[in-house]
Structure 1
């Protein structure tokens, strides 16, 4: 959709954008090999991907940064990405998990709890979130326990987690293992309460674990975008891909990644990554005349006229900070009567 909109508007610098696809297989080795193929065989000037934070980090360190290729991820959330020595070549349109970890700690503190433990899937996403939570939480972190996915039993991890009887668990993981973990937690009667990462806040997960088990637990997620741009994008997406899942893999964010890149190329007057990176913020951050979804042609025209622009799209504002990150408002939810019910919204400005 983004490619079609960009090219229908004449493309950046009057040239059409061409896309090449490679499969990272959610594997760092495969991801690096795929990225090398795109850079060295297809001679691309920019990369978008991957979904997995670990794969994105490997591609950035092994391909994007050493080859000086501009790299945008629309799905990876690990705080580690913000700290890469990337010469300002790596950007992302999905919110940094640092903000989610901060709010997870706030939830526990607001409950008047002095001790908590962290359970995390043992990858870049989980480990970085665990580190950020421990840095942020004002109480005592009694344990940080990593685990591998796909196990039939997590009793050892649960035993380590509860060795010092924490009052709360902050949990960052994926639904497949999470279902097993929380059912075993319930069966063994460990007690206490949990706050769950956004990756676990789906109706399918709630159904698979059981509303009776999750009742009273908290979760933290990004506030879904709203407004005309979002609703129109949803309608257009449903028409274009009637059998696809709107939210996977981060459709809003992926659209905005490519459009912000195209606008930056037009602003820079070249596809040279080291020049384009200097235009990523000027076309997306305040102050400037607003350019919204499906109006990329207006953005090209305004740039040609020498007018500053501020692009925002279906994912909301695309305001890249000094680390190339965007920020979103956070929502605290709680499971009540089999549903995730919003409790409080934390503005992004309170977390930066």
Structure 2
């Protein structure tokens, strides 16, 4: 934003700077959207206080839906509204969908939560940035946590989106031991069966389970595991936090 300010500033009357935010107002992590939007409003308020008289910062919010297609559509709407930059998206797939639109318009994006390794090599024409590390790094940390917890034959339950699949694959590559089962699922409400996923862990004789999940689906799977008598370690990544 401050680089942007330096480019736009030219003295005289206050200049309006529109900043877009891609927030997951719908989809599997909609419960986080209010917090993301509140944080953005705090940042906008601080910018307006710091640059009072020179700039008027305006926040415009679009729904990413945690989905690449919807995020691309919302990114175009933000661009048509005159934003100078886009903050977001949260979900990796949404960010990948949005950058395809933003790069064509020459609008930079900064993701606040997308961790898929695929973003590091995305065709973004130099317009995509993020403030969180790649899951290629998180997977190494998860492997260390699992080992410290005494896991020797873990199950890997992962969402089949860019975030979950990327983290699941990177964990499997980082884990030096065996993996008793690796099962993917769609995290959208009504698209997965927590009991069946839990049963796959029980049937595999797994001593622990790694969850590459979001909060709602992850909680449902953990409850199902407990209900079916699973007593092993349950280890979640950042999406479960």
Per the TM alignment, residue 145 of structure 1 is displaced from its structure 2 partner at its CA by: 0.9
- SS of the residue corresponding to residue 86 of structure 2 reads strand
Q: In 2 relative to 1, CA 184–64 (structure 1 residues): closer, same or farther, beyond 3 Å? A: same
What corresponds to 1:68 in structure 2?
106
Normalising to structure 2: TM-score of the pair? Answer: 0.70
Q: Provide the TM-score with structure 1 as the length reference.
A: 0.50
Which residue among 125, 128, 135 is the counterpart of 1:97? 135
Q: CA deviation at 1:109?
A: 2.0
In structure 1, distance between residues paired with 2:105 and 2:160: 29
The structure whose RCO (Cα within 8 Å, separation 6+) is larger is 1
Cα separation, 2, equivalents of 1:187 and 1:38: 45
Instruction: Confirm whether residue 117 of structure 1 aligns to residue 155 of structure 2.
Output: yes
1:30 equivalent to 2:65? Answer no
- C-alpha distance in structure 2 between counterparts of 1:98 and 1:90, whole Å: 18
Which of 51, 61, 68 in structure 1 is aligned with 2:90?
Answer: 51
What is residue 51 of structure 2 aligned with on the other side? 10
Q: Secondary structure of the equivalent of 1:91?
A: strand
* Equivalent residue runs for 1:41-190 within 5 Å: 41-60=80-99, 62-149=100-187, 150-151=189-190, 153-190=193-230
Q: Give the unaligned 5+ runs of structure 2.
A: 1-41
Corresponding residue SS for 2:64: coil
Determine the C-alpha separation between the residues in 2 that align with 1:154 and 1:54: 23
State how far apart, in whole Å, the 2-side matches of 1:21 and 1:157 are. 35
Residues 139 and 9 (structure 1 numbering): CA distance in 2 closer, same or farther, change over 3 Å?
Answer: same
Q: Distance in 1 between matches of 2:95 and 2:220?
A: 28
- Tell me how far apart the structure 2 counterparts of residues 66 and 162 of structure 1 sit (CA, whole Å): 48
2:198 and 2:228 in contact (8 A); partners too: no
* Distance in structure 2 (CA, Å) of the matches to 1:124 and 1:20: 26
Q: Secondary structure at the match of 1:171?
A: strand
For these two proteins, the number of residue pairs brought into alignment is 198
- Counterpart CA distance in 1 for 2:47 and 2:195 is 52
Kindly state the Cα deviation for residue 133 of structure 1 after the two structures are TM-superposed. 0.6
- Tell me if the contact between 1:118 and 1:145 (Cα under 8 Å) persists in the aligned partners: yes
Contact kept in structure 2, 1:57 and 1:81, CA below 8 Å: yes
Q: Once the 2 structures are TM-superposed, how far is the Cα of residue 85 of structure 1 from its aligned partner? A: 2.7
Cα RMSD of the aligned pairs, angstroms, is 2.6
Does the 8 Å contact 1:54/1:125 carry over to 2?
yes
Partner Cα distance (1:112, 1:88) in 2:
42
CA–CA distance in 2 between the matches of 1:85 and 1:78?
A: 14
Deviation at 1:112, TM superposition (A): 4.7
Aligned mates of 2:49, 2:221 — CA distance in 1: 49
Contact (CA 8 Å) 1:35, 1:59: kept in 2 or not?
A: yes
Contact 1:116–1:167 under 8 Å retained in 2: yes
Could you list the runs of 5+ residues in structure 1 that have no partner in the other structure?
A: 202-352
